[in-house]
Structure 1
Amino acid sequence: MAEDIQQVKCLIIGSGPAGYTAAVYAARANMSPVLYTGPEPGGQLMITTDVENYPGYPEGIMGPQMMEDFRKQAERFGTDVRYELISKVDFTGPVHKAWTESGQEIHANSIIISTGASAKWLGLESEKRLTNKGVSACAVCDGFFFRGMETAIVGGGDTAAEEALYLSKLSPKVHMLVRRDELRASKIMQERVMNTENIEIHWNTETEEILGEEEVEGVRVINNQTKETSVIPVKGFFVAIGHKPNTDIFKDWLDMDDTGYIVTQGKTTRTNIKGVFASGDAQDNVYRQAVTAAGTGCMAALDAERYLTEEGVI
């Protein structure tokens, strides 16, 4: 049976850099935020080993430790962090409603969404086993570790093309594994890839197995036309077949693009529903970095604070 309805001024759905940064700002503004971490407390950084591109950590930091620091800072200012999942929302009325998996009903004056996005993977056992040991879904995050080494990237869209170009500045050779006989990337990105000497495109090519025990040592691929297999010796293996924003529970309420990213208004974090704000990778399909997620978390808290002030709640 559901517990009593809980009233909150600011409900933050999701953790990670966006959620925790929003919580820090919201707590300092006396908004008494309640944050539900979701199924992966700390978000994508919890499966990231070394983070070297976040300002303030000159020696780098482990992803889980960084998220622990974020959480402690949010709690220091009074954020109520709860390790549970919001499974349903109802944005019909002026008071926004949400329900936890266990059935707790929450009425919130404002909601900040920071549910993030999850990388799409190939689904290989070796891919899972070697994640952070040479397998990554973010070349911008992890490409630096493979400076001077040959790398492979899977995908044929704009993201794969961008990441291949990024890797080409670090690797002597980038093997681009494309399932079809053409790239899906925009014309300009295709031209850039084709004109980059150290990017080799393997057409009609699919990954059978990532090789290596403790770290990536190569990749076994198959040509889906000739059925011929071959091994490419690489140290870094990057998957760039897209991300899926974790926004399914909001799809009946919020404006989204074709792939499910929440659409925000202008240079703000406002959604089409008054009092509901979106931050981080749930609304950013371009940058997808920890530092940009944190920035939009800050923006969402400031937008929510202005809204609650206008409504006379704080």
Structure 2
Amino acid sequence: MAYFLVFRVHNAGLISLIPLSQLSAYRQMEWENLTSVSEFFLLGLSAQPEQQEVLFGLFLSMYLITVAGNLLIILAITADAQLHTPMYFFLVNLSLADTCFVSTTVPKMLANIWIQNQVISYAGCLSQLYFFLLFGMLEAFLLAVMAYDRYVAICHPLHYIMVMSPGLCVCLVSASWIVTALSSLLHTLLLDSLSFCADHEIPHFFCDINPLLSLSCTDPFINELVIFTIGGLTGLVCVLCLIISYTYIFSTILKIPSAQGKRKAFSTCSSHLSVVSLFFGTSFCVYFSPPSTRSVQKGAVASVMYTVVTPMLNPFIYSLRNRDIKSSLRKVIWVRKIHS
């Protein structure tokens, strides 16, 4: 005797009568498509074999320049007592964040190209995502903090030492670390609760949150809601801090009577403003664009801009054009030569 059950399938409004003997087979097939994932495949930026050597050399060069430049900044500032000021304290933290940020994604990409293996484990993918979000959001917060520092220095120069006290600087950096660590952990745990389909290919060179959500078989509504609420809220705080700070900065610069004074004041924040525009512009295009307008290729190129190019430009734009940093580097190199 055959038994029948009323069973609603995934297509909305479609109800069919399925024999009980076929229902178990249907559920078994459905569970096989939602099996636990043990690894993903990072497809990278290009599938052309002749382009792999070019990409390897290009990204290896940018990675070495980024790490060497930012480490030199950290060494120069920590070795020179005259540079122990709030501006350079934030710059040390930004250089550290840039070094960790680029080290989260590029070494794995270089290893995949070198050994010609695109596999990354599930745990490794989630770990990469966590640290990528952590240092990416940390850089955004530090750029906002540095904008506030420039506001106090230009608009209230006589009160700069009193306002930007060591305690306030430590609190601002510590709060940035705590908020970004908790937010990254929340995104990673929510992603870990999803089930993934049989297709484990990520059309990217690292485990980013949007490509992973596109591979999910379960509804990622909660994940997307958290991205647009918490991510949007943190981004809004950083953007508002930048806009308000630079509004007061520009109004103060315009009130300076001499043209030389205006150029000197603007030169102290022009480099920061250019990096802010590059970092926030590309990251917003990747994470806050409508799903209908997203392109995998455009997203990957934009990701390269703010994950690799911006950290590489940081030593040149911020510090290597700074006479204090150059003087400190000369002292460090000269002392090492004397000791050797």
TM class by smaller structure? 0.3 to 0.5
TM-score w.r.t. the length of structure 1 is: 0.32
User: Whose RCO is larger (CA < 8 A, sep 6+)?
Assistant: 2
Larger radius of gyration: 2
More helix by share: 2
TM-score of the superposed pair, with normalisation by structure 2: 0.30
- Structure with greater strand share of residues: 1
